[in-house]
Homo-oligomer: A and B are copies of this chain.
Amino acid sequence: MKIHVVRNVLDAGEAAAETNRRRMDEAGVLGVNLLSAPGSGKTTLLEKTIPALGPDHRCAVLVGDLQTTRDAERLGHLAAEITQINTGRGCHLSAAEVARGLDSLNLDRVSFLFIENVGNMVCPAAFDLGEHLRAVLLSTPEGDDKVAKYPVLFQTADAILLTKTDLIGVLEFDLDRVRDDLSRVNTGAPLILMSPKTGEGLEPWLAWLMEQRRGRDKQ
């Protein structure tokens, strides 16, 4: 009797993602992929996060954008290492791009690698870059209907950051609707309310990052 064996052959992208994850593991780096629509505040979040993590937790950043190096310029003086990846017409970062990005970074004594994905609520959700964790941002001006409309993105999140909460007062934004939609889509990820302006939410976000870091160190 002939027994058929079906092996799960990784495609090129999945294999590249696994290689990226192994490289980060070997370097002792926790990789965090940041995903959101354009203008949700990914770069602003990093502007606040990197200094707050302090000198004991050095951060490297890969910044994805179709064009411009503006985000890398904003973060260049804060991160220990930073590389801008311009995707041209590409709607998401790929594992191969991240691999080339890793080549460009010195990860010695780096604790966190933040990967700021291209602003897009659809395509980046489908691509594993080799990150350990995904943080998904939703800004209040985008509207309280986005979890239901883009469920795949929120399903894959390890943490969900509701940003620009300082604008809730001037918007019609129903936080209960977001919580209700998340209860159907993702009950495992914490929802952290944030405002870079008021500083709200930075502490629970940092605590979450540090907890993930410690969990990884124990493995």
Which residues does A use to contact B, with CB under 8 Å? 37-39, 65-68, 70, 89-91, 118-123, 126, 139, 141-143, 145-146, 148-152, 164, 167, 170
A142 CB contacts on chain B under 8 angstroms: 37-39, 141
- Expressed in whole angstroms, the Cα–Cα distance for A152 and B91 within the complex equals 11
Q: Contact between A70 and B119 (Cβ–Cβ < 8 Å)?
A: no
What is the CB-to-nearest-CB distance from A69 to chain B, in angstroms, rounded to a whole number? 10
Number of copies: 2
Closest to A86 in B: B149
Residue of chain B at shortest CB distance from A172? B197
Complex CA–CA separation, A89 to B120 (angstroms): 13
Verify B145–A164 contact, CB threshold 8 A.
no
Contact A66 B167 (CB under 8 A): no
The CA-CA distance from A103 to B159 in the complex, in Å, is 42
A149 and B65 contacting across the interface, CB-CB below 8 Å:
yes
Closest 7 CB pairs of A and B: A39-B142, A141-B141, A91-B122, A39-B143, A37-B38, A68-B148, A91-B123
Chain B residues within 8 Å of A151, by CB? 66-67
Q: How far is the CA of A22 from the CA of B142 in the complex (A)?
A: 35
Partner of A145, one of B37, B68, B146: B68
- In whole angstroms, what is the CA distance A90 to B68 when docked? 27
8 pairs, A vs B, C-beta closer than 8 Å: A37-B39, A37-B119, A37-B142, A38-B142, A67-B150, A89-B122, A90-B122, A119-B150
